[in-house]
Amino acid sequence: MPFSLPRPLSHSSISLFQDCPQKYKFKYVDKIPEKPRHFFSFGQSVHSALEFLYAVQAPPPPTLEALLACYQERWVSAGYRDGDQEAQYFEDGKRILAAYYRKHAKDFAVPLFVEYGFTLEVEGVPVTGKVDRVDALADGRLAILDYKTGKALAASRVERDAQLTMYQLACERLLGRTVARLSFYHLPSLKEQVVERHSTELVETLTKRIVSTAERISAGRFKPTPSEAVCRWCDYKPLCPVYGGAGAGAVEQPDQELSEGIDELGELLSRAEALKKRLLATMEEKGYARAFGRRFEVVRSAARRWEFSDKKKVLELLSKAGLYERVLAPSAPKVEALMSDVTVSDSVRARLAEYGAPVTTPDLKVKPL
């Protein structure tokens, strides 16, 4: 039967539909974009740098300096909470890439494919995807590798993961070679999980899932399937009928007047922020705490907080002092609260101060006269 799909299916879109058909509809049928996520941007940045590393025609690989320069040039900034979070992730990425390079530069080999994009039909369903790396083994068979930049993976996941099964199916059909092994490479830990090719049973299960998903999409079956795990961070919650939303019609493209107003507001806010920084700099230079216009006055203030550059040392100290459960993570506000807590020993508070530094953020309040 012919299928009516808004776009070819992929591992991620199939997973999204299985999580919640309504969410799939919002994203791919109604074409309502989700907010950018920092972990996607981070993964894209690191993957892009590794693509550069393996894109050479023959050994040797690019230098580490060239790799890190490429990483900086291709860095994706979208989705981070603020500049501090982005800077922390950027440094984490540099550390990961440098460690990966030191481990693998000596046995560097040019892959058969890097970022191998594929499109094929599975039982009449268009399917697309991209494999991080495909290596040709000495016996002519293939090894498929998928990089991961997030949390450590369960050891058993690689054995039955549908994404790897899809990659195996695509590579064997399009490249005409047998896949010998599949692997996840967890970049933060430099650990690789490797298994032999997935069974025919897993390929058949994936094929059925692809066809079933295509049939339900073609039939317009987008009933929401709410759950705490899926709904908690969903960008579409205000639109979702489960939560009283009006559906995609609630975010129709605005008319010209509204569109122009949105752009004007954005430009005004941007100009106001730039003007605020300029006024703060002038007042600080002249030593003014207050300044007056004809209709408004401004008051300069400063918020003081601590920043901790070496979170690992902070965690180690808190663990030894029995305070880790008080913060659960080296979150600066929670650690700072410990530094003013008289029940915490003076020596621990002093050492925490060694790992951080107070940062003063100037602010300007505008009030009518």
Q: Give CA separation, 219 vs 98, 137, 213, in Å.
A: 49, 43, 10
Buried b (16+ CB within 10 A) or exposed e, 126-143: bbbbebbbbbbeeeeebb
48 by Cβ neighbours in 10 Å (0-12 / 13-18 / 19+) ranks as middle
pLDDT in tens, 152-171: 889 899 999 999 999 999 99
What are the structure tokens assigned to 237, written together? 């919650």
Q: Give CA separation, 342 vs 14, 181, 327, in Å.
A: 54, 57, 16
When pLDDT is averaged across residues 308-325 and rounded to a whole number, the result is 74
When pLDDT is averaged across residues 13-40 and rounded to a whole number, the result is 96
Regarding predicted confidence, which is higher, 235 or 272? 235
Q: Show me where the domains of the chain are located.
A: 35-107, 113-216, 284-368
When pLDDT is averaged across residues 105-130 and rounded to a whole number, the result is 97
Does residue 330 carry a pLDDT above 60?
A: no
**Inter-residue contact 180 to 140 (CB < 8 Å):** no
Percent of the chain at pLDDT > 90 equals: 62
Residue 342 confidence (pLDDT): 82
Does residue 182 carry a pLDDT above 80?
A: yes
For the chain, what is the total number of helices (H) and then of strands (E)?
14, 8
Residue 137 confidence (pLDDT): 97
When pLDDT is averaged across residues 120-142 and rounded to a whole number, the result is 97
When pLDDT is averaged across residues 334-343 and rounded to a whole number, the result is 80
Beta-bridged to residue 297, according to DSSP, are: 292, 367
Beta-bridged to residue 367, according to DSSP, are: 297
Residue 247 confidence (pLDDT): 61
Residue 251 confidence (pLDDT): 47
What are the structure tokens assigned to 215, written together? 């049939």
Residue 255 confidence (pLDDT): 65
At the topology level, CATH places domain 113-216 in Lambda Exonuclease; Chain A (3.90.320)
CA pair distance 180, 7, nearest whole angstrom: 31
